[in-house]
Amino acid sequence: MIAALCMVPILAAFVGIMFSPEGFLWLDMSLLAVIGFFIYPVINLIVIAALDVVSKKAIGTAAGFIGLFGYIGRTVQAKGFGWTVDHYGKIYGEEAAWDIVFYLILGSALIAGFLLSLTWNMRPKA
């Protein structure tokens, strides 16, 4: 529940970054701080929730797979965003390419919020 609710300010901060006026660096930095502040509970609670629903024998494996998929996701994200900026930057210009990246981030945040909301009533194993 808390992880799903933490996605709301993250999404709002990304929207704020997209529409902040040029030259307002303090606003961009403040919004990045909001993202950093609210992303940590999401990451932490996802790991805790996963460890709550597996048996004691599988805790190490579950934690390892969560870390593995986190690193794989980070790699795919970095390569994907880089390719997007390189590819669409040549066609539409750098600014438009970065707008596409931010729209991808917003879409990902919406999907993450939806998937986290599916765990709203999840209870740990007894």
pLDDT tens figures, 89-122: 999 999 999 999 999 999 999 999 999 899 888 7
pLDDT of 124 reads: 67
pLDDT higher than threshold 90 for residue 30: yes
Domains annotated on the chain, with CATH = 2-117 (1.20.1250.20)
pLDDT of 125 reads: 65
Give the separation between CA 54 and CA 125, rounded to whole angstroms. Answer: 7
Rounded to two decimals, the pTM is 0.82
Report the Cα 78 to chain-centroid distance in Å: 13
pLDDT of 126 reads: 58
